[in-house]
Structure 1
């Protein structure tokens, strides 16, 4: 027996060692397989800027960037490769990581359908593929990953229906598929996701109702359904989810009445957004019992009746009841007093208060002086009466003050000297009287001042023109008198000046020429006299000039010929005389009027016929020539003096600043060398850090760079530029680079991107490095504004902004096609290539595919091989081998023009089976415009 026990012990030890040896060999074999799978993945995708250069065979894969392994066995457990610009498709090689817990490939350029075999990835807990270009349907086989806790697929191009099979993922806590092209209904099986805390289905194309089964999600905290086409009502079961913290269903077609106990059940509810739907009835008074709510938005619905009392909502920060049919009272003034008192009882933490565009009456709501954190106050488009209370001055943080289209009276209180942060003051269309307070000049952050259509009198205070940030000044339709202060020329950012229909007098100061960004100048219906200053011709951005119904005299300045962007010119009913300038600008305007000036004539038959003016007499012409000779003589004398001054300035040791042909600083800028090195760019972009990456293109990446410049070697300052670094591994990148350089050095227009300098250098690895340095556009590109990552981010363009952007792009195209020698076609016009500056003016960029058109038939190029442009924006004839043409650019321009007003990409999932964006638009009846238009266009109406 003892021998038997000994043999059994020996056998057991041998078997254990054999098992351990085989396990060790198995782990080593698995680690090798993981390494090979990683290398296979690397070679299957495009990797810009050598982001995965450390992935080599002679190093351990567990030390590679973005890879984490298990402590034993070196098996890959986490793959985190976000924000690297990786491209390609998600192939089946990723299915080999059977020990994988986390897969994060977000914020890259992956496309195509997902080809992973998820049934082999049983240990997966986190999947994050956010912000790529992945299409196809969401794989139902994901339901086999029973350990999955996070699934983030938002901001892609998934289509089809949500798979009901996902309802079996009992451990799933976060599900986000927002900003895709999903259709169909929300699966009722989602009510089985018992662990779910966050559900985000926003901005898809679901047409069904909200299933009542979602009320079974007892752990749900974040519920986002905005920007779909949901119909019906919100199930009462959803209101009973006690764990709910955030609920948003904005921008849908939901309707019905709100239940009386709407917010009594979820005690944790902090944010409730029901805006832009068709909810109706009376807002339940019980809503005020939701003492924990901080953000409440019920705007743009069909609620009616009295405003509920909000006195119990002690934590309210954001309140928006605008654009409904709410009234102050149904019968008794007692109720009016109640609701005014209720507002005064709100939390002192209140930041945004909006009851605009309702049927509210009575005095200006009282008690706002206690809201020291208030940023925005909007009570416009109601029927409030009485005076603006002086205690508004206590709101030091107030930035937006909108009370327009009411019946407010009395004087504007002298309170604005205490408001240090306002940027938007709109008090127009009231019955305000008295003088404009001088204290407005102390609001140094104000951008818009609108006091039109009131009963204001007195002179315009000089102090207003000390506000350097002012961009929009509208004082029209009042009873103001005196001259327009000469200090107006100090406002370099001013874009709109409208003082029409007042009683202004005196001369128009020549300093008006200092308003270099002015786009609209309306002085009509006043008593302004004297000559039109020639400095008006320096307002090169001017689009509308209206000096009609005044007492201007003398000739029309010839400098008006410089106003190449002018669309409307009205000089009618003045005392102007002499010959109208012969510039073709007077023929190209959509509206020109000089009637009521009996002393005007024209020496140009075409202009005379167009403006209905008589031909100038010979004597007058001779007198004009004599005056011209005298002026020329004086000009020659002045010219000689200028030459002397110029030579004096060139004496040794004297430096000068270059100015380009448009009067702007030369591309070298002050202190920035015409050519800079790779090291300079690497330092400015923090070694091409991911946080400085602002865009990717077919041939390179664009980074934000902060460069140090010096002024004569003494003072230093920082300047922010956009750096377009080429990926020279791309076969046609160098050709694109030279094409862009050749194009940009031949053009200059305010709506085209300006190249500052270029870089031909060697990088730290000894490879060639080429880059372009261009103006930095702080507002990003048009694509970012049309399709923001988060609909709740507030990124939205008004209809006027979209129209102005369209005009800017059209102006740039008109210049390229008609004013360049030879003409230039862009060949890649799309929203991503339309950049926006701080004033939201559009600049067309990326001329990597641009072409010069031949000027003679003998020089015609042969049919270009390949497609010119981006999918969805290419003219049909290009796909058939057609030559580059201005017509192709016009076609491409039409696509983003439609996009701006319907917010649908031409590659949207709805455009399939032969239906294109322009065909879809053409098939829509005029009475369906509101149904296809971007709903954000109507948020202010």
Structure 2
């Protein structure tokens, strides 16, 4: 009886105080929210309604239950809140939804602001939530949605999140989380959305998620560092999956065939991974809208291509198809024409596809991007492409397309990128290109185009880049340009003539007019192009003075005015102070008043300029006037005039000497003295016909010394004299910045009366390429970087291009190898050793001018030479190809690993195998130190999210770009070592390809 009375009294007490308990719970949630407000910075006062004198259920972003006013939803997304994530949010035990996403500032810089508002703006720009995820959040058993994406949260995902059994959506994207994804997330059987992209997650993706979450609809892991293989029953594990975004990770293995069983899939993005094998068939994906498989190691043949594209006929909603940057080979089938009519982006770039571009393209009236670049497509550009009025990007560069460029561009009113360079197009440039008024990039370089450049092109006001180099275009440039946005214009290597007009393009950064037939003077207006970074006017017929206005170009990095007919004094300010970036060689009438400029740029020393005489005259008159007044100054004046006369005679003497101020006929005694009696310590290296020494020459007219290289011929060898003659004959006819500069020669007798022959050349302090590739001390830090290797390859290709295509008659080197590539103090490469060089007659019936027996170096000799073939430019191309491959493999072609030959060894490899034989020091270097992000050539095809990455994500992007660059360079090498000479590229094509690779790695 007493117990019943006690229970009744307790029940009455609880009923009486029920409102007190409710208020206590409400006050707990209220206090937690107020504490949260105190711990974060609120620059926009978004939490101004959170006041102690109001009901917390009415506060901004807060929703409560109606019965007990417990907080069920907290949505503070996009408020620019900052500070560490408070731990006590886990005490909001009735939370169903927690959204603190996007607390990173987004907005535009104010057009006008004062000092203090600028400081506030800078503070605002760095607003975001930081800190780690509290483990206590795993206690929120009612939580259904958790979104902390787009902040700066760090640390790992707590394993306690596996206790959130009610959770349906987990979004942690675009933070700085690290470590492995906890396997406990596989306990979240109700989870339908998992968004973990753009973090620093590592390790293998948990198999528990693959097998335990059949309700998953959305899975995004893009831009992490995750690894492992996808299970073979992947498609069966996720029957409800609609979005699969795994781009930019390190997933590998074969893409499961079962993926087609996830029949609800709409988006598949597996790009930028390491998947290999053939592409699976997608027969059952009727809802598929986006398929992105780029930047993997997938392979195919013509028959597999047919099966793959035929399977996509069952995807009538397909809008984006990207299979770029793989190892796909063979022809594209005609079934491509049966793809979805909704197709908007079609990208197969950077593969090994060949044959012609399939017909039936006119079906794709919604197509905006057609990207077929970097393949081996042949035939003509289809006329039916002209019917695609929505086309914005047409990229077919670096193929083998031929014929005339069809005049189809009048309908492309939305076109902004047209890049069809590096093909074999002939004929004239269609004038209809001028109707593409929105065009920003036009690339027609390295084709066989003739005729004049249509004036309509120079009226494209939105054009930012224009590449027309490497054709046979003629005529002159228009007097006016309307390309207000132009940043890059390269029309080098053509037959253009006339005067260079006044170019008034304020945003121009690169101007290339080299290797044409321009004449007249350099316009002063070029000095007004304040943004100019690179200016190349080399190898023309320009005359007159170098405009002093060029001194004003403060952003100038490289100026090349070489091989013209310029004269007068070299300016001494601005870019001319950075002598390593100015090239003036081949202008014999240029001079300088500076000894440093004279030696560095290869110009003579000015005797006296007119300006100096004009300044000197009033000084002399003033001295004479002073002498009349002060007789005691006569003697001093006499001494002054005597000294000036002596100095003038010294200047005159110096200006009359050749380069490096050495006598033209240097003696055996001079060389013996300079090399310290041919001391072993001065021996630089040995070649086939002699030895090279370092020599320090004394200049007789002053106390200066000059270090040069001396090649001493070993006349005991029967062919040494002919080699000496061949080298002299060759080098006296060539001038190029990447050819070794011979200063003088010696043909005399030594002190014993024996014949003595030597060449005195520019000294290269960094030795030759062979010693740089194979340093004696591997720990010395002398590893050649990727960019250095590319630059050296470009330098050598440029020199060989000049010898083959710009010399009359053409010159064949016949002994190109790393030991004959010398490196100066700036690591600029110079091709040397022309002892086997020969001139090629333009008359087929005439024999080669050289009488030397054809020789070369084992491993670098073209196969046709072994069969008695005549010297040809194709032989040099072969040698260059071997040299280029050697630069990236760091193994000599005679190495045992190549067995039969480097040619056969490398040609049989795919890209993944190639990366395994690449110089691992180079790969390891970039794995350790790379931090730069780089985008794919196929725009918007890299990931499932259009945002940029930073930190480790940038490293992954950069490493992908490094690997792409290495493979692309080795592809060039492979194209040079084709067994049949006619299948090899020309050195002009090679040079253009390497420049393109360099632009790609630098993001230009």
TM-score normalised over the length of structure 1: 0.60
Q: After superposition, give the CA deviation of every residue in 1:890-932 in whole Å (9 maximum; x if it has no partner).
A: xxxxxxx9743699xxxxxxxxxxxxxxxx99xxxxxxx9879
User: Could you tell me whether the CA contact under 8 Å between 1:212 and 1:237 is conserved in 2?
Assistant: no
Map of 2:348 onto structure 1:
355
Map of 1:754 onto structure 2:
none
Residues 1:934 and 1:152: Cα distance change in structure 2 (over 3 Å): farther
Q: Tell me the distance in 2 between the aligned counterparts of 1:415 and 1:932.
A: 37
Map of 1:317 onto structure 2:
319
Q: Tell me the distance in 2 between the aligned counterparts of 1:431 and 1:478.
A: 10
Q: After superposition, give the CA deviation of every residue in 1:428-477 in whole Å (9 maximum; x if it has no partner).
A: 11000011011111111111111111000000110001111101001000
- The alpha-carbon deviation at position 600 of structure 1 amounts to 2.1
Residues 1:274 and 1:131: Cα distance change in structure 2 (over 3 Å): farther
Q: Which runs of 5+ in 1 are unaligned?
A: 1-7, 111-129, 329-335, 629-798, 804-896, 904-919, 922-928
Q: Tell me the distance in 1 between the aligned counterparts of 2:98 and 2:251.
A: 37
User: Could you tell me whether the CA contact under 8 Å between 1:479 and 1:502 is conserved in 2?
Assistant: yes
- The alpha-carbon deviation at position 84 of structure 1 amounts to 2.9
Map of 1:680 onto structure 2:
none
Map of 2:474 onto structure 1:
481
Find the partner of 2:102 among 87, 92, 107.
107
Find the partner of 1:243 among 221, 237, 240.
240
Find the partner of 1:522 among 512, 517, 529.
512
Q: Tell me the distance in 2 between the aligned counterparts of 1:271 and 1:131.
A: 33
Find the partner of 1:220 among 211, 216, 223.
216
Map of 2:834 onto structure 1:
none
- The alpha-carbon deviation at position 353 of structure 1 amounts to 0.7
Map of 2:137 onto structure 1:
142
Find the partner of 1:255 among 248, 252, 256.
252
Q: After superposition, give the CA deviation of every residue in 1:600-646 in whole Å (9 maximum; x if it has no partner).
A: 22344554444332333447557888999xxxxxxxxxxxxxxxxxx
SS in 2 for 1:463: helix
SS in 1 for 2:18: helix
Q: Which runs of 5+ in 2 are unaligned?
A: 106-125, 619-785, 791-928, 936-950, 969-1004
Alignment of 1:417-566 (within 5 A): 417-488=410-481, 490-510=482-502, 512=503, 514-566=504-556
User: Could you tell me whether the CA contact under 8 Å between 2:95 and 2:142 is conserved in 1?
Assistant: no
Find the partner of 1:291 among 283, 286, 290.
286
- The alpha-carbon deviation at position 395 of structure 1 amounts to 1.0
Q: Tell me the distance in 2 between the aligned counterparts of 1:262 and 1:99.
A: 39
Q: Tell me the distance in 1 between the aligned counterparts of 2:488 and 2:187.
A: 57
- The alpha-carbon deviation at position 364 of structure 1 amounts to 1.8
- The alpha-carbon deviation at position 236 of structure 1 amounts to 2.3
Greater C-alpha radius of gyration: 2
Find the partner of 1:392 among 385, 392, 398.
385
Map of 1:275 onto structure 2:
271
Q: After superposition, give the CA deviation of every residue in 1:699-735 in whole Å (9 maximum; x if it has no partner).
A: xxxxxxxxxxxxxxxxxxxxxxxxxxxxxxxxxxxxx
Q: Tell me the distance in 1 between the aligned counterparts of 2:27 and 2:245.
A: 48
- The alpha-carbon deviation at position 49 of structure 1 amounts to 4.4
Q: After superposition, give the CA deviation of every residue in 1:272-301 in whole Å (9 maximum; x if it has no partner).
A: 1222222222223x3244333221112222
Alignment of 1:4-403 (within 5 A): 20-91=15-86, 94=89, 97-108=92-103, 132-136=128-132, 138-156=133-151, 161-202=156-197, 203-211=199-207, 214-240=210-236, 241-263=238-260, 265-284=261-280, 286-306=281-301, 307=305, 308-310=308-310, 311-328=313-330, 336=331, 339-403=332-396
- The alpha-carbon deviation at position 61 of structure 1 amounts to 3.5
Q: Tell me the distance in 2 between the aligned counterparts of 1:190 and 1:349.
A: 37
- The alpha-carbon deviation at position 938 of structure 1 amounts to 6.0
- The alpha-carbon deviation at position 106 of structure 1 amounts to 3.0
Residues 1:384 and 1:243: Cα distance change in structure 2 (over 3 Å): same
> Is 1:900 the counterpart of 2:892 in the alignment?
no
Q: Tell me the distance in 1 between the aligned counterparts of 2:369 and 2:51.
A: 56
Q: Tell me the distance in 1 between the aligned counterparts of 2:468 and 2:614.
A: 39
- The alpha-carbon deviation at position 208 of structure 1 amounts to 2.0
User: Could you tell me whether the CA contact under 8 Å between 1:518 and 1:541 is conserved in 2?
Assistant: yes
The alignment of Structure 1 onto Structure 2 pairs a total of residues equal to 612
User: Could you tell me whether the CA contact under 8 Å between 1:182 and 1:206 is conserved in 2?
Assistant: no
User: Could you tell me whether the CA contact under 8 Å between 1:210 and 1:233 is conserved in 2?
Assistant: no
User: Could you tell me whether the CA contact under 8 Å between 2:377 and 2:401 is conserved in 1?
Assistant: yes
SS in 2 for 1:377: strand
SS in 1 for 2:131: strand
C-alpha RMSD of the superposition? 3.7
User: Could you tell me whether the CA contact under 8 Å between 2:90 and 2:140 is conserved in 1?
Assistant: no
Residues 1:480 and 1:932: Cα distance change in structure 2 (over 3 Å): closer
- The alpha-carbon deviation at position 585 of structure 1 amounts to 2.8
User: Could you tell me whether the CA contact under 8 Å between 1:495 and 1:520 is conserved in 2?
Assistant: yes
> Is 1:411 the counterpart of 2:404 in the alignment?
yes
- The alpha-carbon deviation at position 370 of structure 1 amounts to 1.0
SS in 2 for 1:506: strand
Map of 2:637 onto structure 1:
none
User: Could you tell me whether the CA contact under 8 Å between 1:340 and 1:366 is conserved in 2?
Assistant: no
User: Could you tell me whether the CA contact under 8 Å between 1:106 and 1:132 is conserved in 2?
Assistant: no
Q: Tell me the distance in 2 between the aligned counterparts of 1:420 and 1:43.
A: 56
Q: After superposition, give the CA deviation of every residue in 1:39-61 in whole Å (9 maximum; x if it has no partner).
A: 34333433334443343334443
- The alpha-carbon deviation at position 560 of structure 1 amounts to 1.0
Residues 1:392 and 1:199: Cα distance change in structure 2 (over 3 Å): same
User: Could you tell me whether the CA contact under 8 Å between 1:107 and 1:131 is conserved in 2?
Assistant: no
Q: Tell me the distance in 2 between the aligned counterparts of 1:53 and 1:361.
A: 65
Q: Tell me the distance in 2 between the aligned counterparts of 1:287 and 1:618.
A: 79
Q: Tell me the distance in 2 between the aligned counterparts of 1:479 and 1:473.
A: 16
Q: Tell me the distance in 1 between the aligned counterparts of 2:558 and 2:226.
A: 45
User: Could you tell me whether the CA contact under 8 Å between 1:196 and 1:217 is conserved in 2?
Assistant: yes
Q: Tell me the distance in 2 between the aligned counterparts of 1:537 and 1:625.
A: 26
SS in 2 for 1:250: coil
User: Could you tell me whether the CA contact under 8 Å between 1:587 and 1:610 is conserved in 2?
Assistant: no
SS in 2 for 1:485: coil
SS in 2 for 1:39: helix
- The alpha-carbon deviation at position 214 of structure 1 amounts to 1.9
SS in 1 for 2:233: helix
Residues 1:604 and 1:239: Cα distance change in structure 2 (over 3 Å): same
Residues 1:937 and 1:81: Cα distance change in structure 2 (over 3 Å): farther
- The alpha-carbon deviation at position 507 of structure 1 amounts to 0.6
Q: Tell me the distance in 2 between the aligned counterparts of 1:622 and 1:46.
A: 67
Residues 1:273 and 1:196: Cα distance change in structure 2 (over 3 Å): same
Map of 1:571 onto structure 2:
561
Find the partner of 1:583 among 562, 568, 573.
573
Q: Tell me the distance in 2 between the aligned counterparts of 1:567 and 1:153.
A: 45
SS in 1 for 2:204: coil
SS in 2 for 1:254: strand
- The alpha-carbon deviation at position 19 of structure 1 amounts to 5.2
